[in-house]
Amino acid sequence: MSRLWVPRRVLVTPSAIARDSGAAMVERARALGSEIVALTADRLSGLPDTYRDAKTTMAIVTASASRRRLQPIPPSADWRYDLAEGCPAHCSYCYLAGSLAGPPIVRVYANLEEILGELPAALGQGRVTSVSADRAQEGTTFECSCYTDPLAIEHLTGSLAASIAYFGAWDAAVQLRFTTKFDAVGPLLSLPHRGRTRVRFSVNALAAERHEGGAPRMAARLAALRAMAQAGYPVGLTVAPIMRVPEWAEAYDALFASVAGALEGVAGVDLTAELITHRFTPKSKDVLVSWYPGSKLEMDEAQRSRKMTKFGSVKWVFPKEQMQEMRGTIEASLKRHLPFARHLYWT
């Protein structure tokens, strides 16, 4: 198993430490050797301004009412809720660069009960799986990995295990979903999940590993995928971000062959696949270039097509012909190696 992340400094607000779960997070971090800084007000202060210091800082806070409000999250799920914001890994394409503002610290929420308390009102209300003929059997879906990798910090928070147990005990057509690049699944294997949590492992062609500092290698993620499938969890692949790496067709074919190998002999696997191509925005490019000035990641507007997002901002995607070629080839590889996988979308 890969090494667990230990934040160098942990800031905790008075409201967070007053809760049992916040105090437990502090104790876990202290036991691992983090320096604990108890703040005197709920507003975060003294935040680091360098990338390096920010990425080794964790803040334990409570999620305000506005942060707890559920948001639709197409095409993945009906709703999004957050256990945390930020991630300790150093992926040079990280999608959080375009969505989170401020220094890239990890903020974790100590008021999970209140966060989960918002979920029942959304039952049957979504506009993605709830209204899709193909995905209706998933029920109302809730995604908790939009702004973090929840498994990367689970040894500090315990929030993912609590969410899995909450969905396991929720007698309704619901599903918890999360994506991870991490592999510390041991504590999740024996949870009473009752098939209501789908874990998707974020995987890619091997050439992508050079852009994924601080995340476990692909082989470790595949071993974790196998362990979760054996434990009866619905599982999935988030193939992202799909890039035109050298010999990309062979590279993605090899990826699906290794997934098939990892799942060999596991009975009754329920596997989905989500295929997401690399894109960037002017904002995410600026942030990523400042964080990873030496990165070889291609973010060249001249090689891309300009598209408008539904929020009216610009994103740069692969040109249409390249997109069609990649889609046809990669989807065919998926079908050949993993004919039992349910392909949810290409984007």
| Type and span of the H or E element at 320 | helix 320-337
Q: What is the largest CA-CA distance in the chain?
A: 58
Which of residues 96, 153, 184, 205 is near ligand SF4 by CB under 6 A? 96
Tell me the Cα Rg of the chain. 20
138 is a site residue for ligand SF4 (CB under 6 A): no
Which of residues 89, 231, 254, 269 is near ligand SF4 by CB under 6 A? 89
Please provide the DSSP assignment of 56-67 as one string.
Answer: TEEEEE---HHH
Considering only 89-97, 109-117, 154-162, 291-299, which stretch makes contact with ligand SF4 by CB under 6 A?
Answer: 89-97
Considering only 85-93, 162-170, 192-200, 329-337, which stretch makes contact with ligand SF4 by CB under 6 A?
Answer: 85-93
CA–CA gap between residue 212 and residue 297 (Å, rounded): 11
Count of residues engaged in binding ligand SF4, rule: CB under 6 A = 8
112 is a site residue for ligand SF4 (CB under 6 A): no
Sequence-distant (≥ 6) Cβ neighbours of residue 4 within 8 angstroms: 32, 155, 184
302 sits in the region (left: phi over 0; alpha: psi -120 to 50; else beta) called alpha
Considering only 5-13, 44-52, 91-99, 183-191, which stretch makes contact with ligand SF4 by CB under 6 A?
Answer: 91-99
Of the pair 170, 178, the CB lying nearest ligand SF4 is at 178
178-207 footprint of ligand SF4 as x/- string (CB under 6 A): ---x--------------------------
Within positions 142 to 181, which residues make up the interface with ligand SF4, using CB under 6 A?
149, 181
Considering only 23-31, 55-63, 84-92, 256-264, which stretch makes contact with ligand SF4 by CB under 6 A?
Answer: 84-92
Amino acid (1-letter code) at residue 1 = M
| Type and span of the H or E element at 54 | helix 51-54
- Scanning 96-243, the segments in alpha helix (DSSP H) are 96-99, 112-117, 154-157, 159-169, 218-230
55 is a site residue for ligand SF4 (CB under 6 A): no
Instruction: List contacts with ligand SF4 (CB under 6 A).
Output: 87, 89, 91, 94, 96, 149, 181, 215
